[in-house]
């Protein structure tokens, strides 16, 4: 039995902000009618969390639930807990028009921490970070690739992208966070 590995295990960088590859996270896509009671109940039972509002991510003790699209949620758990959570959701949603899929291994996860995190992200993403309080999630792009970003703390963001472009994302973030590139846009 082998242990699964993330795209860039242990990658760390300190520049204008700290950048780190966060290792494997459990990630589950749930597509369905987000206004339905069945989805709300399934999500609540599986994660203990309610269905979040548009562009919001709610953090719980064991899971986080993020709004991804009008009919899509992203559920974040421990990587080891994914199979169990998927099974729970599938069982709860049996017979419903809803789709559950494990996408944990399809993604790479990075964290950016530091007061200049928004400035660094603004160099890559067409996002207005002035309107981005903690608990906000945004699907966007970072330079040339798709990404989703959420704010976990005042000075901490998490970014996910496809696993295949993990190296590109790493090179991008560490380049944009190079000392000398201070901007002072977000203060």
Chain residues in the site for another protein (CB under 8 A) = 1-2, 4-7, 24, 29, 31-32, 83, 97-99, 101-107, 119, 122-123, 125-128, 130, 143-145, 162-168, 171-172, 175-176, 178-181, 183, 185, 187
Q: How far is the CB of 107 from another protein (least distance, A)?
A: 8
Q: How far is the CB of 175 from another protein (least distance, A)?
A: 5
**Helix (H) / strand (E) containing 26:** strand 26-31
Name every residue whose Cβ is closer than 8 Å to that of residue 91 and which is 6 or more positions away in sequence. none
Q: How many CB atoms lie within 10 A of CB 133?
A: 10
3-state secondary structure of 17: coil
Of 59 and 123, nearer to another protein (C-beta) is: 123
Q: How far is the CB of 127 from another protein (least distance, A)?
A: 7
Of 54 and 144, nearer to another protein (C-beta) is: 144
Q: How far is the CB of 128 from another protein (least distance, A)?
A: 4
Q: Any bridge partners for residue 111, and if so which?
A: 20, 158
Q: Any bridge partners for residue 160, and if so which?
A: 109, 148
Q: What is the largest CA-CA distance in the chain?
A: 56
3-state secondary structure of 83: helix
Of 2 and 54, nearer to another protein (C-beta) is: 2
For the CA atoms of the chain, what is the radius of gyration? 17
Q: How far is the CB of 2 from another protein (least distance, A)?
A: 4
Q: How far is the CB of 154 from another protein (least distance, A)?
A: 16
Of 58 and 173, nearer to another protein (C-beta) is: 173
Distance from C-alpha of 146 to C-alpha of 21, rounded to nearest angstrom: 17
Of 46 and 124, nearer to another protein (C-beta) is: 124
Q: Which two tokens stand for residue 124?
A: 């890559």
Of 59 and 162, nearer to another protein (C-beta) is: 162
């Amino acid at each position: 039995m082998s242990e699964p590995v993330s795209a860039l295990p242990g990658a760390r960088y300190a520049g204008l902000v700290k950048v780190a590859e966060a290792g494997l996270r459990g990630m589950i896509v749930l597509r369905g009618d987000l206004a339905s009671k069945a989805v709300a109940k399934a999500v609540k039972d599986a994660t203990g969390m309610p269905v979040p509002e548009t562009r919001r991510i709610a953090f719980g003790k064991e899971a986080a639930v993020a709004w991804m699209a009008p009919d899509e949620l992203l559920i974040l758990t421990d990587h080891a807990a994914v199979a169990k959570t998927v099974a729970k959701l599938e069982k709860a949603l049996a017979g419903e028009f809803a789709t559950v899929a494990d996408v944990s291994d399809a993604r790479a996860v990075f964290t950016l921490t530091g007061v200049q995190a928004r400035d660094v992200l603004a160099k890559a993403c067409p996002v207005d970070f002035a309107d981005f309080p903690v608990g906000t999630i945004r699907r966007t792009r970072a330079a040339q690739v798709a990404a989703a970003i959420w704010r976990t703390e005042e000075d901490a963001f998490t970014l996910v992208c496809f696993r295949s472009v993990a190296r590109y994302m790493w090179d991008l973030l560490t380049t944009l966070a190079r000392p000398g590139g201070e901007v002072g846009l977000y203060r």
